[in-house]
Amino acid sequence: MTARPVPTIDDLVDLLLPAWTEALGQPARADSDFFALGGTSLTAVSIAVAVASGLEQYEDIEVRALESVFASPTLIDMAAALKAFIEERPRA
Protein backbone atom coordinates (compact mmCIF):
# COMPACT_ATOMS: atom_id res chain seq x y z
CA MET A 1 0.00 0.00 0.00
CA THR A 2 1.41 3.38 -1.01
CA ALA A 3 1.62 6.04 1.69
CA ARG A 4 -0.52 9.07 1.07
CA PRO A 5 1.29 12.41 0.86
CA VAL A 6 1.15 14.81 3.78
CA PRO A 7 -1.84 17.10 3.23
CA THR A 8 -1.20 20.72 2.35
CA ILE A 9 -2.58 23.64 4.35
CA ASP A 10 -5.22 24.07 1.62
CA ASP A 11 -6.20 20.39 1.94
CA LEU A 12 -6.61 20.80 5.69
CA VAL A 13 -8.61 24.02 5.33
CA ASP A 14 -10.88 22.20 2.85
CA LEU A 15 -11.36 19.45 5.45
CA LEU A 16 -11.95 21.87 8.32
CA LEU A 17 -14.37 24.31 6.64
CA PRO A 18 -17.36 21.94 6.45
CA ALA A 19 -16.56 20.48 9.88
CA TRP A 20 -16.55 23.94 11.46
CA THR A 21 -19.64 25.05 9.53
CA GLU A 22 -21.62 21.98 10.57
CA ALA A 23 -20.47 21.97 14.20
CA LEU A 24 -20.93 25.70 14.71
CA GLY A 25 -24.15 26.01 12.71
CA GLN A 26 -22.91 28.92 10.61
CA PRO A 27 -20.52 29.47 7.72
CA ALA A 28 -16.82 29.45 8.59
CA ARG A 29 -13.88 30.96 6.70
CA ALA A 30 -10.14 30.39 6.97
CA ASP A 31 -9.80 33.39 9.30
CA SER A 32 -12.82 32.45 11.46
CA ASP A 33 -12.26 32.27 15.21
CA PHE A 34 -13.75 29.25 16.95
CA PHE A 35 -14.74 31.20 20.07
CA ALA A 36 -16.11 34.21 18.19
CA LEU A 37 -18.44 31.84 16.33
CA GLY A 38 -19.75 30.49 19.64
CA GLY A 39 -17.58 27.39 19.87
CA THR A 40 -17.87 25.21 22.98
CA SER A 41 -16.20 22.04 24.18
CA LEU A 42 -18.99 20.02 22.56
CA THR A 43 -18.51 21.67 19.17
CA ALA A 44 -14.75 21.15 19.52
CA VAL A 45 -15.32 17.42 19.98
CA SER A 46 -17.54 17.36 16.90
CA ILE A 47 -14.81 19.05 14.85
CA ALA A 48 -12.17 16.65 16.19
CA VAL A 49 -14.29 13.64 15.22
CA ALA A 50 -14.74 15.03 11.69
CA VAL A 51 -11.00 15.64 11.37
CA ALA A 52 -10.24 12.13 12.60
CA SER A 53 -12.58 10.59 10.03
CA GLY A 54 -10.84 12.50 7.25
CA LEU A 55 -7.30 11.79 8.47
CA GLU A 56 -7.63 8.38 10.12
CA GLN A 57 -4.26 7.23 8.78
CA TYR A 58 -2.48 9.49 11.28
CA GLU A 59 -2.07 8.19 14.82
CA ASP A 60 -3.60 10.34 17.59
CA ILE A 61 -5.01 12.87 15.11
CA GLU A 62 -8.32 13.16 16.98
CA VAL A 63 -6.56 14.14 20.22
CA ARG A 64 -4.37 16.67 18.43
CA ALA A 65 -7.37 18.09 16.57
CA LEU A 66 -9.19 18.63 19.85
CA GLU A 67 -6.15 20.29 21.43
CA SER A 68 -5.58 22.50 18.40
CA VAL A 69 -9.11 23.93 18.46
CA PHE A 70 -8.28 25.53 21.81
CA ALA A 71 -4.57 26.26 21.23
CA SER A 72 -5.06 27.60 17.67
CA PRO A 73 -8.63 28.92 17.60
CA THR A 74 -8.66 30.29 14.05
CA LEU A 75 -9.35 27.77 11.33
CA ILE A 76 -6.15 28.56 9.40
CA ASP A 77 -4.05 28.29 12.57
CA MET A 78 -5.69 24.98 13.39
CA ALA A 79 -4.83 23.75 9.88
CA ALA A 80 -1.20 24.81 10.40
CA ALA A 81 -1.05 23.08 13.79
CA LEU A 82 -2.47 19.88 12.32
CA LYS A 83 -0.02 20.00 9.42
CA ALA A 84 2.92 20.39 11.83
CA PHE A 85 1.61 17.48 13.90
CA ILE A 86 1.14 15.25 10.85
CA GLU A 87 4.65 15.97 9.61
CA GLU A 88 6.06 14.80 12.96
CA ARG A 89 3.97 11.62 13.41
CA PRO A 90 4.07 8.17 11.85
CA ARG A 91 1.02 7.13 9.88
CA ALA A 92 -1.11 4.28 11.18
CB burial of residue 41 (10 Å; 0-12, 13-18, 19+): exposed
pLDDT at residue 2, rounded to an integer: 56
Confidence of residue 6 (pLDDT cuts 50, 70, 90): confident
**What is the total count of domains within the chain?**
1
Please tell me the least confidently modeled range out of 7-11, 20-24, 85-89: 85-89
Average of per-residue pLDDT across 54-59: 89
Q: Let me know if residue 3 belongs to a domain.
A: no
Full domain range(s) for residue 13: 9-88
Identify the three-state secondary structure at position 60: coil
Residue 41 vs residues 7, 18, 66, 76: alpha-carbon distances, Å: 26, 18, 9, 19
The reply to whether 4 falls in a domain is no
Q: What is the CATH number of the domain that holds 53?
A: 1.10.1200.10
The pLDDT of 14-41, averaged and rounded, is: 97
